[in-house]
Amino acid sequence: MFLGKVLLQRYKIIKAIDGGSFGNTYLAIDMAFPGEPHRVVKHLCPQNDDPENVEIAKRLFKTEAECLAKLGEHDQIPRLFSYFEEDGEFYLVQELIEGHTLTQEFEPGKRWSEAKTVKFLRELLEILAVVHQQDTIHRDLKPANIMRRHQDGKLVLIDFGAVKEILTIEQLEQTSEPGSIGIGTGSYMPHEQALGRPGKYSDIYAVGILGIQALTGLSSLELPQDSESLEQVWNDLKIEANPQLKNVLGRMISYQYKQRFPDAAKALNAFVPTVIATTGDSSNNSIAKKLFLAALGAIGLAGGGFLGWQFLNRPDYAQLETYLQNQAWQQADAETDKLMLQVAGEKSALDADSLNKFPCKSLEKIDELWTSNSDGRLGFSPQEKAYLETGNEFNQYTQSASEAFGDRVKWRSFGVWSLYGDLKFTNIAPPGHLPSPGRVATDKNDLRIREREMLLSRFDACGL
């Protein structure tokens, strides 16, 4: 009997939760942690003990562990605590999410409002954007794998048992691997995924299907499988949805993967104008307008017969805002550097001339996003404070004061300037530690410290 079993001399199994073709899930007590909190334990035990099937199951479990290890710092993805082999069997221990799956909310015959649907799609895409940023795909997005956390009502993306690493090449014919298998749930799975050749665009298809399910109240078996049949569904059910929203959803479930949004970040941009069109009350409308302004420079709703907003000379802060809201600090740091180079019209570094001309509004916007999403701990403002408090003066370089500043924000350790790979991209990063100065365009990944000091001078000159 598995109940009562103690794994790794630490995790005591107390209850069976679920079973699947590749393993069982249990509730366990973590006896080595203060308070003995509950954890989720996944036990690898394929129903089919064929050697090839067992190898597939092992690969999936290992992939899930590797994925959760990378993504577990995200507030809306379960944290990984342990992955181990014991007595020839494999186990994965992760955070227990107290909540309910969206299966309870997607009731057949119950239609969601446009505003509720768009809010759901945006939140789901924000989480998925972080997953895709790590070159990972979920491959089994459906109501049963999305939870509503009771503590705060936020969505949590669970069950990464079908995740698969993607190579850097995004073309469909190059993402396929020998032995790749079509894993997922039929109603939410596009044809290329069924053939064992999924991409980020396959997750986009599933999100589109979920949006259609929410608006129409159809059961999963009644859902349209492509954009051509979708129009008939709108007409048959007399769905009076915003045409822009219909077009976006139609693009998301296109039969041809190249016609869909390539990843969650691009799909997320498309929903900003839709929020404005579908949100009723004035307070929400104000928030929506702010989101819209943040996304004006995005490559948004281009193609597919619907309107696109493209302001080529304006930076797009939407992706940075998404990363920061999700506390994806490393992605936000890289996005900040990318935005600043874009604004300055530089390729790899900012020089004195470009910094002296750097737009104050851009500095203010980036700083506002960082400080507002970190309780004031991260951003240019805390960096400027640390810079002045360590004896520095703007436009007057002193090596000792500069080094004291580096020590304060922890860009120096044991008297040596850190490399980019030494930085801390966590919730406990020291005040002013991020955003980083960015890396030098060499293999050493040195930090562009002097550039940051000149930038703080510009920040002060802007009166920020």
pLDDT per residue over 354-372, tens digit each? Answer: 888 888 989 999 999 999 9
Q: Which residue has the higher pLDDT, 228 or 264?
A: 264
Q: Which residue has the higher pLDDT, 225 or 72?
A: 225
Which fold would CATH assign to domain 6-95? Answer: Phosphorylase Kinase; domain 1 (3.30.200)
Please write the tens of the pLDDT for every residue from 139-194. Answer: 889 999 999 999 889 999 988 755 544 533 333 333 334 344 445 567 898 988 88
* Phi, psi of 216, rounded to the nearest 5 degrees: -100, -25
Contact predicate 146/156, CB 8 Å: yes
Percentage of residues in the chain having pLDDT higher than 90 = 38
Query: Which DSSP helix (H) or strand (E) runs through 382?
Result: helix 380-389
The answer to whether residue 385 scores a pLDDT higher than 90 is yes
Q: How confident is the model at residue 378 (pLDDT cuts 50, 70, 90)?
A: very high
Q: Which residue has the higher pLDDT, 347 or 4?
A: 4
Q: What is the pLDDT of residue 193?
A: 87
Q: What is the mean pLDDT of residues 254-269?
A: 92
Q: How confident is the model at residue 254 (pLDDT cuts 50, 70, 90)?
A: very high
What lies within 8 Å, CB to CB, of 386 at 6+ separation is 405, 408, 409, 431, 432
User: How does 34-68 read in b/e, with b if 16+ C-beta sit within 10 Å?
Assistant: eeeeebbbbbbbbeeeeeeeeebbeebbebbbbbb
- Residue 391: name the closest of 377, 371, 406, 378 by CA: 406
Answer yes or no: same fold for 6-95 and 99-291.
Answer: no
Query: Worst-scoring range by mean pLDDT, 50-59, 332-341, 379-388?
Result: 50-59
pTM: 0.56
Q: What is the mean pLDDT of residues 110-118?
A: 91
**Domain locations in the chain as residue ranges:** 6-95, 99-291, 318-461
Please write the tens of the pLDDT for every residue from 426-439. Answer: 878 899 999 999 88
* Phi, psi of 357, rounded to the nearest 5 degrees: -100, 0
Q: What is the pLDDT of residue 185?
A: 67
Q: What is the mean pLDDT of residues 250-260?
A: 93
* Token pair in block for residue 321: 């805002």
Contact predicate 214/117, CB 8 Å: yes
Please write the tens of the pLDDT for every residue from 168-179. Answer: 333 333 333 434
Q: Which CATH number fits domain 99-291: 1.10.510.10, 3.40.50.300, 1.10.579.10, 3.40.190.10?
A: 1.10.510.10
Q: Which residues are the active-site residues? A: 140
The answer to whether residue 283 scores a pLDDT higher than 50 is no
Q: Which residues pair with 99 in a beta bridge?
A: 149
Q: How many angstroms separate the CA atoms of 31 and 37, rounded?
A: 8
Query: What sign has the CA pseudo-torsion 178, 184, 187, 189?
Result: negative
Please write the tens of the pLDDT for every residue from 44-72. Answer: 776 666 777 777 767 777 776 777 777 86
